[in-house]
Structure formats: C-alpha cells, structure tokens
C-alpha cells in the first residue's frame, strides 16, 4: 500500500473519530438540557448536593426509571370533584384557624398522592417521585417543610397555603388551563353532589341535539297539517 493511501486512511479515521466525539458531546448536551428543563430547580439543587452534574444527572435518570415502575395514574373525574370540594373546605377554615388549615392542606396533598399511586408511606421516595413530573411546584413545597405551623405568622401560613395549592392543583389536574373538558366534568359532578345534599333532584342529562332545533318542530308540524288540509282530494 502506498504512503498516500496510508495517509488517506489515517485522515479518514481521524475525521470519523472527531465526528463521533462531536456527536457524543452533542447528545450529552441535549440530554443535560432535557433534564434541566424537566427538573428545573430540582436539577440545580441536586447538582449542589452531589457536587457533580454527572452524578446529579445519573440520579435524575434513575428516578425516572423508578417512577415508571410505580404505575402512577391520574385521578378519575369523581375523585377530582371530591378533592376539589375538600380543598374549598380547607381554604374556608384558613380564615378562622390558619395553622389547622395549613396542616389539613398538607394531609390532603398526601391523600391525593396515595390515591394516584405514589409511595406515600415512604416520604423520601415520594418526594423523589414528585420531582419527576411536578418539580416546579415541589420546589415551593420544599420551602415549607421546616415551617412550624404552631409558631408561624399569618403571613408565613398564607405563603405556605399558596405553595400547597400549587402542588395540590398539579397533582389533581385542577390547575387553571389544564384539563379542558375534564374540568367541566368535575364541575358537573360537584354541582350534582351539591344538589343531592340539598335534597334537590339532579338535573337530567341534556339530550343530544338533533339536526332540526326542537323549538322549530311544533311549528313545522302545524305547517304540514295545514298543507294536508288545503290539499284537494
């Protein structure tokens, strides 16, 4: 083999190696960007805690695998409606007993997690699982963990309630702008339950609209009858 051919082969090998290295770097950057976008402040917190991006990213990737194996599921519209009513009651309690309301809100969040399939009996595992799909609202929740409700000021309790509500709405799917028709279904179920509690009959479901408006049918029938009467025999 000539010297020129050997040199050519070496150049090709170097170019291929450079391209592979560039592809690996690009894929790593894309993976890092995706994890940072998904986990947000949780990504930064874990980098500081582990002291290495590589270790933090390995942990976050492992969390994703663990969460996929948990079988976490959405709430049914009936469950959403029930929890929506529970949250309204908790917020009303805040006016007179803010500390008790905040404690009740925290309990409600963990009830929702249990119904959705989170490992609620293992607090650390649940917090890790929350970070996979609710990292941003989880960050606000983390800020309340050291709050002592019995000695906290009203303003501190109000801020805790706001953070709890953010996580609660994420978990239940009741956050504004999410759910679409599902939110209407929740409202319908709540209204029906309220009517039942008040002793009022639940409204009958609306019949599907026909091609011809119902209001026009009597007039059309009368017109047909008139034509029949006027038709010579």
| Residue 37, CA distances (Å) to 51, 56, 135, 145 in order | 19, 14, 10, 24
Name the least confident of 8-17, 116-125, 130-139. 8-17
- Better-predicted residue by pLDDT, 130 or 225: 130
- The pLDDT confidence band at residue 52, using thresholds 50, 70 and 90, is confident
200 — pLDDT class (breaks 50, 70, 90): low
pLDDT confidence bin for 114, thresholds 50/70/90? very high
CA–CA gap between residue 176 and residue 174 (Å, rounded)? 6
Predicted local confidence at residue 213, as pLDDT: 43
Average pLDDT over residues 182-203: 53
The CA radius of gyration of the chain, in Å to the nearest whole number, is 30
- 61 within 8 A of 34, measured Cβ to Cβ: no
Q: Are 76 and 174 in contact (CB under 8 A)?
A: no
Q: What count of Cα atoms within 13 Å lies in the side-chain half-sphere of residue 13? A: 6
| Highest-confidence segment of 103-117, 146-160, 205-219 | 103-117
Rounded mean pLDDT, 200-221:
46
12-29 confidence digits (pLDDT tens): 778 787 777 777 666 666
The single-letter DSSP state of residue 231 is S
DSSP state of 76: P
The ranges assigned to domains in the chain are 11-68, 77-197
């Amino acid at each position: 083999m000539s010297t020129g051919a050997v040199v050519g082969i070496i150049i090709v090998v170097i170019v291929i190696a450079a391209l592979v290295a560039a592809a690996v770097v690009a894929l790593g950057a894309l993976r890092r960007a995706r994890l940072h976008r998904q986990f947000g402040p949780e990504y930064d917190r874990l980098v500081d805690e582990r002291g290495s991006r590589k270790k933090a990213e390995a942990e976050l990737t492992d969390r994703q695998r663990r969460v996929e194996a948990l079988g976490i599921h959405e709430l049914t519209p009936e469950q959403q409606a029930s929890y929506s009513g529970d949250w309204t009651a908790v917020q009303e309690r805040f006016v007179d007993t803010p500390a008790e309301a905040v404690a009740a809100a925290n309990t409600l969040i963990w009830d929702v997690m249990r119904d959705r399939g989170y490992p609620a009996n293992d607090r650390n595992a649940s917090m890790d699982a929350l970070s996979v799909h609710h990292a941003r609202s989880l960050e606000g929740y983390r800020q309340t963990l050291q709050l002592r409700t019995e000695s906290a000021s009203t303003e501190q309790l109000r801020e805790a309630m706001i953070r709890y509500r953010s996580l609660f709405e994420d978990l239940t799917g009741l956050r504004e702008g999410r759910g679409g028709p599902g939110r209407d279904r929740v409202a319908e179920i709540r209204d029906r339950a309220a009517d039942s509690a008040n002793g009022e009959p639940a409204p009958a479901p609306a019949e599907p609209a026909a091609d011809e408006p119902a209001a026009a049918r009597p007039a059309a029938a009368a017109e047909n009858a008139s034509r029949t009467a006027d038709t010579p025999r």
